[in-house]
């Protein structure tokens, strides 16, 4: 019996060493690594545990399942963003950058064993159902989330378009868990949305950073600029609830508004992970003021853009503190069509700030408030309304006295999106202040 167990341990040791060597060859084939030192004592402990499970666990478990679970454990034990992607998970990750995939429309991570919503994606079932950044999912239908891996939870959330799933959510400030029913749909993500806020100022919304986000941004801004009389006088760049995405897209967006200087750099242990990205000449809006809106759902690539524009004093950042994901994940394909998603570097803003677990602090903090019209207000009587008032020069020339602009649009914007309302007011103020020196040049 002892001889059998000893032989089993030797075979298990050989199996584990073989797996480790295969992994080393697959992952490090493209790296300049002279030698890999294997921790023999620790591997011996591993094989002992492996043998105990094979011989004593209540139900038989195949070797593949045990080894894949061990690999998952190695990666998930590092940080919330490193993970093992089986062939199916790797395929789903690749689909996520094309702008079309099935599911609920949320960017998620793990926190304390629960699924944390980093951000709902605009115009998706999750956003329409009222899911918010920071929510913790504790149950998926009747399945508790505790104990599931992130990929297992994502697999449950995805399903046939039109089918429903019930999320049990814990939300900060809520007295009890919320139950939100969501109907799955094909998620088509439009990365960039743009419109004019008025005749001078544009609104640019980036929902996520995809491979063609920079190109789309250029097209949208050029199109809006052609429809203005004097060119764009400023833009609101909305990065709220933007979970991030492709690093190169964040560089492209930042470069659109910067003419020179560093945009972002990364630092890691491997020389291939040490990268620097700098701006090229030409500012697409010729130095017009920019207000960037951010919140706790702005993460990763969003923070790169906000940090670069803030450090170069190219934009005013408004809103609330961002998520604080300042790490870079690299996808390392495996020979088995699986992949490792592993943290390889931290990224830094041009001034050397690390965003990791800190986030971007806005220049002007805005609270989450709702604004409604005061129905008790009434129109005040003014001098021009009084009978027999002294006429102004315009009235004497036959012109009607100037009337106040209709405030309905402003009230609507303030009540539907208070932060955007404040950002637009800030842009108007920046435009006025830019012209003050010329107006006041001869004033003593």
The residues assigned a catalytic role are: 300, 311, 325
The pair of three-digit structure tokens given for residue 396, joined into one six-digit string: 């004497």
Question: Directed axis angle between helix 87-95 and helix 150-157, to 10°?
Answer: 60
Under 8 Å between Cβ of 249 and 234? no
Count of C-beta atoms within a 10 Å radius of residue 250:
29
Rounded CA-CA distance 268/328 in Å is 9
Computed on alpha carbons and rounded to an integer, the radius of gyration of the chain in Å comes to: 28
Question: Directed axis angle between helix 213-226 and helix 247-257, to 10°?
Answer: 30
The residue behind tokens 């591993």 is 46
3-state SS, one letter per residue, for the chain: CHHHHHHHHHHHHHHHHHHHHHHHHHHHCCCCCCCCCCCHHHHHHHHHHHHHHHHHCCCCCCHHHHHHHHHHHHHHCCCCCCEEECHHHHHHHHHCCCCEEEECCEEEEEECCEEEEEEECCCCHHHHHCCCCCCEEEEECCEECCCCCHHHHHHHHCCCCCCEEEEEEECCCCCCCEEEEEECEEEECCCEEEEECCCCEEEEEECCECCCHHHHHHHHHHHHHHCCCCCCCEEEEECCCCCCECHHHHHHHHHHHCCCCEEEEEECCCHHHCEEEECCCCCCCCCCCEEEEECCCCCCHHHHHHHHHHHCCCCEEEECCCCCCCEEEEEEECCCCCEEEEEEEEEECCCCCECCCCCCCCCEECCCCCCCCCCCCCCCCCHHHCCCCCCCHHHHCCCCCCCCCCCHHHHHHHHHCHHHHHHHHHHHHHHHHHHHHHHCCCCC
């Amino acid at each position: 019996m002892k001889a059998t167990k000893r032989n089993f341990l030797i075979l298990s040791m050989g199996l584990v060493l073989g797996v480790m060597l295969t992994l080393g060859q697959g992952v490090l084939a493209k790296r300049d690594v002279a030698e890999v030192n294997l921790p023999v004592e620790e591997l011996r402990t591993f094989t002992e545990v492996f043998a105990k499970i094979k011989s004593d666990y209540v139900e038989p478990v195949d070797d593949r399942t045990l080894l894949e679970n061990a690999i998952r454990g190695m990666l998930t034990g590092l940080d919330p963003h490193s993970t093992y992607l089986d062939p199916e998970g790797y395929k789903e990750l690749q689909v996520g950058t094309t702008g079309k995939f099935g599911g609920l429309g949320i960017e998620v991570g793990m926190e304390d064993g629960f699924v944390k919503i980093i951000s709902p994606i605009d115009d998706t079932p999750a956003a329409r159902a009222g899911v918010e950044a920071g929510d913790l999912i504790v149950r998926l239908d009747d399945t508790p989330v505790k104990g599931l891996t992130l990929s297992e939870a994502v697999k449950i959330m995805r399903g046939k378009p039109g089918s429903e799933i019930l999320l049990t959510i814990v939300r900060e400030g809520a007295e009890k868990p919320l139950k939100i029913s969501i109907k799955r749909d094909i998620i088509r993500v439009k990365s960039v949305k743009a419109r004019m806020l008025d005749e001078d100022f544009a609104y640019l919304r980036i929902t996520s950073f995809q491979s063609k986000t920079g190109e789309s941004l250029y097209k949208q801004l050029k199109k809006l600029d052609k429809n203005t009389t004097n060119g764009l006088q400023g833009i609101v760049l909305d990065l709220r609830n933007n979970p991030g995405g492709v690093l190169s897209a964040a560089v492209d967006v930042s470069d659109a508004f910067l003419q020179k200087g560093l945009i972002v750099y990364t630092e890691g242990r491997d020389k291939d992970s040490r990268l620097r990205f700098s701006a090229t000449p030409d500012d697409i809006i010729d130095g017009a003021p920019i207000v960037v809106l951010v919140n706790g759902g702005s993460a990763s690539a969003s923070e790169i853009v906000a940090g670069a524009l803030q450090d170069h004093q190219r934009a005013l950042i408004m809103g609330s503190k961002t998520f604080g994901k300042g790490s870079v994940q690299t996808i390392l394909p495996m020979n088995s069509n699986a992949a490792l998603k592993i943290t390889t570097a931290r990224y830094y803003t041009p001034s050397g700030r690390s965003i990791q677990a800190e986030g971007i602090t806005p220049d002007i903090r805005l609270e989450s408030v709702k604004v409604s019209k005061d129905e008790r207000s009434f129109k005040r009587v003014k001098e021009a309304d009084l009978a027999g008032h002294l006429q102004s020069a315009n009235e004497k020339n036959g012109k009607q006295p100037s009337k106040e602009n209709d405030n309905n649009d402003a009230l609507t914007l303030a009540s539907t999106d208070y932060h955007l309302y404040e950002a637009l007011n800030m842009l108007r103020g920046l435009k006025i202040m830019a012209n003050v020196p010329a107006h006041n040049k001869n004033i003593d």
